[in-house]
Chain A
Amino acid sequence: MIAIQDLTFTYKNGKTPALQDICLSVPSGGFLGIIGPAGAGKTTLLRAITGVIPHHYTGDFYGSVHVNGMDTVDTSLDRLSGITGMVFQDVESQIIFPTVEDEILYGLENFGVPREEIPLRISEALHKVGIPDLLERSIASLSGGQRQKVAIASILALKPQVLVLDEPTGELDPGSSRQIFTILKELNEEGVTIVLVEQKIMLLCEFAKDLAVLDGGHVVLQGETRKVLTQVEKLQSVGVNCPRVTTLSHLLTERIGRQQPVCVNLDEAERMVRGLMK
């Protein structure tokens, strides 16, 4: 679905490349989590996937990014955004209109969705994120979590094949964060390819199928989530901490001298410890 080859990008006015020699691919139906310290190039990578780079943010672009077989450099942003939907880090600037209904209508109107189909699209999108009752509400009256759901719904209404999100739970509390991830998981199961940047490692490990770790514009680790999590030292060297249950499984592997399963959540950790007790 997404194929990035030898991508190196330097922003106009930028001194050093924000991304260097990136090679990354995400299959259709994939769920890729991206993590890394501040300034690693995470947001830039998402921008390159959506085509906002090079169409909105210009600069020196080497290599190629293909989405659904289309080269993002040669394809217009309008066509690309019909396939890839993007949810930004700052939900306040993502939402353009003061009411939920207007916000969701906007994209539908622009892409010329047939008039008779629009009410259905709106209600579908709101149902998917679990807020059908908020249609008439003003954005100002919503909580942070609800606003994030509106932002996601406004993209879902356009039926994207790929959903790209930049720290969607950055400003949310643990409860709302988990809700957002649960919604994403459901969408993923329906076939939407998901790529997101996230700092909350516990959620990332539990929900993402694959992980990519960025540092200084390079991909330093990538692969299946559990495989990446076994590289404890490498992760620590770029300042990414594992979930504590994962650290526990590493410690036990080390102390007992026998490979323990890489745990990403409580259930698995409980099973592992109980297994060791027998």
Chain B
Amino acid sequence: MIRFEDVSFAYPDQGSSIRDLSFELERGEFAAVIGANGAGKSTTVRLADGLLRPSSGRVLIDGEDTRNSQVSARARKVGFLFQNPDRQICKNTVREEILFGLRTVRSEEGESALQARAERILAEFSFTGDEEPFALSRGQRQRVALASIFAAEPEVLILDEPTTGLDYRECCHIMDQIRRMNEERQVTVMMVCHDMEVVLDYASKALVMAGGRLLAAGPVREVFRNRELMEKASVLPPQVISLGLRLGDGYETADTPEAMAEAVLAHRKKEGASDE
């Protein structure tokens, strides 16, 4: 669905920031781009949407070179959720906001069809539609932005630190909704995220970046268990996985506190440990 072929990119007044990037995401994959600050993660997702154009190599979305069409023309196919929802929201009510998005990308469907679409998405996100976006909390506003993107039913969803600045509950809310889209509609997701616990919980694939290059791409758990790779990328793996690696002895496979507790209990049983 998303394919990078030897992509390099340099900002005008700086050195090259992305070098020889090649990878492919299949339809329905949920990939996280991870790495330290300055690794080129944000640049990469902007290249994927065509907001930036590669200086060499090419980026294909569903087989189409991003340089052959405008970003805005692709918005129906590719949704982009930014870190700051306030840059996206420009209408006075949530309903108007969602309709605004729909009218720009699906204008051919006629007003009544769009209204019906808007009502459906409002129900799905449990909004009444009359809320004023700027009176909502940051997490709620992020959900408004997400709803307006989902309304267009994109095939690809790109997320740039979607949970930054949100509390835990809001974070789960947003991520659960994204997961549903991914599972139910086979939406391909590409996400930049700093919270490795979130990456572990939601993503299936990880693209590990450092210094503008791709260090590795693979299943999330495999990547996190690769100590050398994590160190090279200056990424701190999720707590339970780190703990498993430290303990060794079969604990490496545990990835949640529950699994780890089970492993500890099983171990105790085998060793015949007594509780006093």
Contact = CB atoms under 8 A, between A and B. Distances in A.
Whether A and B touch directly in their complex, counting CB atoms under 8 A apart, is answered as: yes
Interface in B250-276: 251, 256-258, 260-261, 264-265, 267-268, 271, 273, 275-276
B36 A248 contact: no
Given A167-B165, A171-B164, A245-B239, A251 B197 contact: no
B164 A266 contact: no
Contacts of B267: 277
A contact face: mostly helix, strand, loop, or mixed:
helix
Contacts of B165: 167, 170-171, 199
Contacts of A171: 164-165
B contact face: mostly helix, strand, loop, or mixed:
helix
A194 B270 CA distance: 47
A39 B242 CA distance: 34
B137 interface: yes
Contacts, number: 100
A241 B251 CA distance: 23
B170 interface: yes
A266 B239 contact: yes
Contacts of B234: 175
A199 to B, nearest CB: 6
B169 interface: yes
Contact of B138 (A38, A176, A274): A38
A58 interface: no
A79 B250 CA distance: 60
Contacts of B239: 202, 243-245, 266, 269
Give the bracket for the number of chain A residues in contact with chain B.
35 or more
Interface string A140-179: 0001110000000000000000000001001101111000
Contacts of A120: none
Interface of A: 36-39, 143-145, 167, 170-171, 173-176, 199, 201-202, 239-241, 243-245, 247-248, 251-252, 255-258, 266, 269-270, 273-274, 276-278
B167 A239 contact: yes
